[in-house]
Amino acid sequence: MAGKREENPAGSSNNLRGDVLRVLGVLKVATVEQIQQISAPHLSYRHTDKPTPSKRKQARTASHTGALSDLRKHGLAENGGQLPGGDTLRNLTPMGLKAAARELGRPVGEMGNPARGAGRTGASHPMTVNEAVLALLRPKPNLSELTGEPADVRAAAQAAVDAPAGLGTIASYATEVALPATGTWANPSKGGAQADIVITAPEDGMPLLFVEIDNCFESAQVLAGKINKYMRFCQRKVKDVDGKERPMWRTRWWVPDGRHGDRPHPPLLLVFNRIGPRNPNTVIAQLAELTERHWKGTAYEGGFHMYDGKMPIVVTGMKQLKEHGPAGAVFRRFGRPHNQTLIEAIGNPRREAADARQRAEHDARQREHQAELRRIAAQHRAEREACRPVCAGCGTRFTDERWKAIEPAGWDAPRETYPHLCDDCKQAPSHHGPTPRRAGRARAPGARPGRAGPEDQRHMALPLPRMTGAEEARGWRGFGTSQLVLAATTSASCVEGS
């Protein structure tokens, strides 16, 4: 135990230090309270008996402060200055970013750069980014950690658990992500964008979302220029490992292909934090007009639009986002007249409803068609049953096999001897009549079968056919052997039948 205490003087656990590394690996720079709210939200409901807010805050963040002290001893974290309110900023060193990459399961090249010196200018933008991450993430407290707390505290924690969930986990987020229009992911060139937040939470219906934070210091023209850079990046295609060209963003993030003819670019969420001098409502109206070519879809019959190759642009305010979260109807998409939830705003519910109606109509037509086929088949079966033969012996209807057996077949197939009887009656001797015999002359006694008797030989002595004049001139040489045999055979058969 003494060895562990010497290695980590503050006594922090491996799990706690790992939580701190994951949070700082995503946010780059944060206060201890922000780290605690994301990694251990149940602590926000403890220590309510402390007399002042500062003492309650100190008690809630004590364990994370100790973990940061141990990380600073190992050269993984450092202090990054102070906020105007007195809170100390914490960030990771380059070695700490590598350790955070292992904790998050990400390549080191995707971790970005350390946020050193962010506190020198007040870090207003990074702090707003962190607030947006907290508002979109909405961490849920672990109620099992609050069993000993007062009833009102547990009720407040239960209300937080019952509230609509946020998007993903802390591993679903990344900040300060370069989106190169030229160059590579590791070495982006000029002309690209840099997303303040990138969210990948497909399990919550958000495969990919870019977030841009504005503290109301920038004009609509500056924001329109940023959106142009986002579009340049989304339109950029590179050759993938299979030799085919694909959008560059698809080589890093997975997004479903979507419906044919309605495959937009990844959506962009603009969050306005009203601390600057500009009116966000005025900026939003101007921005929608300046970027119309990027987000406006094509109208179709049925009251919906298709946005193939367009970028969904959604706007909201920081105050509304923190109050309602992504499940609240506080998001306005450019081109739509009313607010929606974030999932609805980036989606295409009208087109989905039209597709659902088409599928329902198609299914109804298929059901009607199948019913008509069944009716026709039943009618054909009834007509066939009406034509089924009946046995002349017992009155039983023929089976399908018997019916098929008595039907006319090819000229060389044997004929059925009793087509008016079923199989059972056909086998019964009582229904058989005398076997018909061919009428003919009785064979003379002693004559051998197959040879003509004396009486037959008498009839075979026939005169030769009468010849014409030309034939008499030629004589019997004009007759072939086959003609003589045919004439004799024909005459004999005629005499036998007479």
Which residue reads 């019959």 in tokens? Answer: 301
Task: For the beta carbon of residue 34, count every other beta carbon within 10 angstroms.
Answer: 23
d(CA 183, CA 273): 32
pTM of the model: 0.74
CA dist 177 to 131, 133, 136, 382, 462, Å? 17, 14, 17, 73, 119
pLDDT of 438 reads: 40
pLDDT of 341 reads: 96
d(CA 212, CA 234): 15
Instruction: Provide DSSP, 435-494.
Output: PP----PPPPTTPPTTS--HHHHHHH--PPPPP-HHHHHHGGGGS-HHHHHHHHHHHHHH
d(CA 368, CA 387): 29
What burial class does residue 412 get, using C-beta atoms within 10 Å of its C-beta: 0-12 exposed, 13-18 middle, 19+ buried?
exposed
Q: What is the pLDDT of residues 7-35, one digit of tens each?
A: 888 889 999 999 999 999 999 999 999 99
Tally of CA atoms within 13 A in the half-sphere of 213 that contains its CB: 23
> 118 with 126: CB under 8 angstroms?
yes
pLDDT of 403 reads: 87
pLDDT of 423 reads: 84
d(CA 334, CA 310): 12
Tens-digit pLDDT string for the chain (498 aa): 445 566 888 889 999 999 999 999 999 999 999 999 999 999 999 998 889 989 999 999 999 999 999 999 999 999 988 888 888 999 999 999 999 999 999 998 888 877 766 666 678 899 999 999 999 999 999 999 998 899 999 999 999 999 999 999 999 999 999 999 999 998 898 889 999 999 999 999 999 999 999 999 999 999 999 999 999 999 999 999 999 999 999 999 999 887 777 789 999 999 999 999 999 999 999 999 999 999 998 888 878 888 899 999 999 999 999 999 999 999 999 999 999 999 999 988 777 777 788 888 899 999 999 999 999 999 999 998 888 899 988 888 889 888 888 887 777 777 777 888 888 888 876 655 544 444 344 444 554 544 444 444 444 444 545 555 555 545 444 444 444 444 444 444 443 443
Residues in the chain: 498
Closest CA to 106 of 166, 40, 175, 155: 175
Three-state DSSP at 314 gives strand
Residue 8 tokens read as 């980590």
Q: Where are the beta strands (DSSP E) in 180-311?
A: 193-201, 206-214, 237-239, 245-247, 268-272, 298-300, 304-306
Q: Name beta bridge partners: 79.
A: 90
> 195 with 180: CB under 8 angstroms?
no
d(CA 177, CA 110): 8
b/e sequence 203-213, b meaning 16+ C-beta within 10 Å:
eeebbbbbbbb
d(CA 36, CA 57): 10
CA angle 384, 386, 387 (to 5 degrees): 65
d(CA 30, CA 355): 45
292 DSSP assignment: H
Residue 467 tokens read as 């010849």
Strands 313-317 and 268-272, by their bridges, are parallel
Sign of the torsion formed by the C-alpha atoms of 188, 192, 197 and 200:
negative
Instruction: Give 285-335 as a 3 state SS string.
Output: HHHHHHCHHHHCCEEECCCEEECCCCCCEEEEEHHHHHHHCCCCCCEEECC
pLDDT of 5 reads: 60
pLDDT of 234 reads: 95
Q: Can you say how many angstroms the Cα of residue 23 is from the centroid of all Cα atoms in its chain? A: 32
Residue 387 tokens read as 């034509």
H-run or E-run covering 77: strand 77-82
pLDDT of 418 reads: 83
> 69 with 98: CB under 8 angstroms?
no
CA dist 380 to 211, 370, 377, 400, 404, Å? 65, 15, 5, 15, 17
